């Protein structure tokens, strides 16, 4: 067990494992086990199975409460964006987990230490080990430190369309009426351009254009969001 990992977990996340074997297992890739059969150690795959489900409920619970107006389809899309391989492998790197995972030689030589799928599994297995060692609350605390601030900062809401995002931003602190008004249609039928304005509680907050009403509404919402976030 690399002492560096124990130190980093303590300093960066105030995590100290009771059962250090669990932490060790979380960082043991199957390729390492295969090359060290005499050690009789277990790989991290069962912990990954568990950690995957821990992550799923904690992210779901957070999104459900954080986005009270978002319909199920969009919640699902947002959740998928957060827990997908690409995202989790980045979280694993930010936590420096890639430095500490035990790999077999073959896996190491073929670049496993930087492979997204391996790092994603590693992130989940760590979460599974933390959940087993210290329970739901400790796992949640870690997720709150590593993932939720990025969700709150909008790193994943690009998955949402502009109109939905605008609605979420405006209605965060209560009900706000949002209205899209068609203010102009110009050009011949096959090249028509629509102009739309968007109002919040009757105040103009953005205007946009597009080749259909839908596209013009999305454009207006995007402009309003730019102004709101500026």
Contacting residues toward its own copies, per CB under 8 A: 45-46, 48-50, 52-54, 56-57, 59-61, 64, 70-73, 75-76, 79, 136
Question: Closest approach of Cβ 52 to its own copies, in Å?
Answer: 8
The binding site consists of 48, 121, 124
DSSP lists the bridge partners of residue 159 as: none
Smaller CB separation from its own copies, 46 or 96: 46
Catalytic (active site) residue 124: yes
Q: Cα(186)–Cα(193) distance, rounded to whole angstroms?
A: 5
Question: 24, 43, 107, 124: which is the annotated catalytic residue?
Answer: 124
42 to 21, 47, 49, 102, 131: CA distances (angstroms): 10, 10, 14, 12, 18
Binding site as annotated, residues for Mg(2+)? 48, 121, 124
Nearer to its own copies, 70 or 151 (CB): 70
**Region label for 202, one of left (φ > 0), alpha (ψ between -120 and 50) or beta (otherwise):** left
Q: Active-site residue 86, yes or no? A: no
Nearer to its own copies, 125 or 218 (CB): 125
DSSP, collapsed to helix, strand or coil, labels residue 14 as: coil
As beta bridge partners, residue 204 has: 199
Two structure tokens written together for 9: 């977990």
Task: Provide, rounded to whole angstroms, the least separation between the CB of residue 186 and its own copies.
Answer: 35
Q: How far is the CB of 136 from its own copies (least distance, A)?
A: 7
Q: Which residue out of 52, 107, 168, 219 is catalytically annotated?
A: 52
Q: How far apart are CA 132 and CA 51, in angstroms?
A: 9
Q: Active-site positions?
A: 52, 124
């Amino acid at each position: 067990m690399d002492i560096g990992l124990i130190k980093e977990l303590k300093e960066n996340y105030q995590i100290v494992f009771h059962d250090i074997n669990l932490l060790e297992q979380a960082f043991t890739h199957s390729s390492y086990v295969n090359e060290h059969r005499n050690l009789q150690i277990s790989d991290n795959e069962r912990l990954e199975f568990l950690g995957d489900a821990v992550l799923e409920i904690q992210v779901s619970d957070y999104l459900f409460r954080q986005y009270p107006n978002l319909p199920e389809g969009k919640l699902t899309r947002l959740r998928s964006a957060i827990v997908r391989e690409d995202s989790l492998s980045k979280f694993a790197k930010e936590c420096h987990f890639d430095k500490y995972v035990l790999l077999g030689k073959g896996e190491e030589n073929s670049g496993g230490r930087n492979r997204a799928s391996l790092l994603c599994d590693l992130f989940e297995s760590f979460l599974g080990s933390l959940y087993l060692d210290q329970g739901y609350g400790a796992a949640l605390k870690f997720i709150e430190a590593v993932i939720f601030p990025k969700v709150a900062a909008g790193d994943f809401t690009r998955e949402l369309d502009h109109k939905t995002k605008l609605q979420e931003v405006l209605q965060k602190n209560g009900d706000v009426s949002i209205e899209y008004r068609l203010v102009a249609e110009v050009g011949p039928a096959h090249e028509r351009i629509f102009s739309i304005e968007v109002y919040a509680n009757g105040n103009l907050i953005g205007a946009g254009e597009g080749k259909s009403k839908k596209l013009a509404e999305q454009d207006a919402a995007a402009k309003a969001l730019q102004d709101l976030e500026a």
